C-alpha cells in the first residue's frame, strides 16, 4: 500500500470516527420508530471503522486516534435535525470513500472504497426517504 493509499484510508477513517460519534447524537434525538435503523447504521460505521483501522495497521501506517468530540454542523434537538445530521454524515463519509476509489492505486483498496461508497449511498437514500426528499438518490454519491 502506497503512502497515497494510506492517506486516503486515514481520511476515510476520520470520516468514520466522526460518523460513529454523530450516530450517538442521532440515536439520542431520532424518532424512536427509527431505533432499529439507527442501530444498524451505527454498527455498519463501527464495522467499517474497525476494518479501516485493521487495514492501516496491516500496511504499517500509524493509525490516528479519534477526536475527543465532534461538533454537529447545526443544532440537533429533535427528530428532523437528527435525520438531517444522518444525511450529512452519510454524504460526508461517501465523499471520503469516493476519494479512496479515485486515489487508490491498489485494486483491492479501490474495491473496499466502492463497497463503502455503495453502503453510504444506500444509507443516504434511506435517510432521504425518511425526510421525504425526492429524489432519494443522486447519480454520483460522494461528489460535491
pLDDT tens, residue by residue, 71-85: 999 999 999 999 999
Name 39's Cβ contacts closer than 8 Å, sequence gap at least 6.
27
The pLDDT, as a whole number, for residue 144 is 59
Please tell me whether residue 81 adopts helix, strand or coil conformation.
helix
The pLDDT, as a whole number, for residue 93 is 97
The pLDDT, as a whole number, for residue 73 is 96
> Would you give per-residue pLDDT tens digits along the chain (144 residues)?
899 999 999 999 999 999 999 999 999 999 999 999 999 999 999 999 999 999 999 999 999 999 999 999 999 999 999 999 999 999 999 999 999 999 999 999 999 999 999 999 999 999 999 999 998 887 777 775
The pLDDT, as a whole number, for residue 137 is 86
DSSP H stretches of helix in the chain: 3-29, 35-59, 79-103, 107-131
The pLDDT, as a whole number, for residue 142 is 76
Task: Identify the CA nearest to 3 among candidates 105, 115, 111.
Answer: 105
Cell of 22: 454523530
Task: Identify the CA nearest to 88 among candidates 68, 73, 67, 69.
Answer: 73
Name 7's Cβ contacts closer than 8 Å, sequence gap at least 6.
103
* pTM of the complete model: 0.94
Amino acid at each position: 500500500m502506497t503512502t497515497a493509499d494510506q492517506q486516503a484510508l486515514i481520511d476515510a477513517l476520520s470520516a468514520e470516527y466522526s460518523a460513529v460519534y454523530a450516530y450517538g447524537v442521532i440515536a439520542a434525538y431520532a424518532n424512536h420508530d427509527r431505533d432499529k435503523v439507527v442501530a444498524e447504521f451505527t454498527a455498519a460505521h463501527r464495522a467499517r471503522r474497525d476494518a479501516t483501522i485493521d487495514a492501516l495497521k496491516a500496511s504499517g501506517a500509524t493509525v490516528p486516534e479519534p477526536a475527543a468530540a465532534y461538533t454537529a454542523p447545526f443544532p440537533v434537538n429533535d427528530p428532523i435535525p437528527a435525520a438531517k445530521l444522518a444525511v450529512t454524515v452519510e454524504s460526508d463519509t461517501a465523499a471520503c470513500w469516493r476519494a479512496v476509489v479515485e486515489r487508490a492505486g491498489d485494486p483491492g483498496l479501490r474495491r473496499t472504497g466502492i463497497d463503502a461508497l455503495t453502503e453510504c449511498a444506500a444509507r443516504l437514500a434511506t435517510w432521504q426517504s425518511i425526510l421525504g426528499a425526492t429524489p432519494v438518490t443522486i447519480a454520483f454519491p460522494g461528489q460535491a
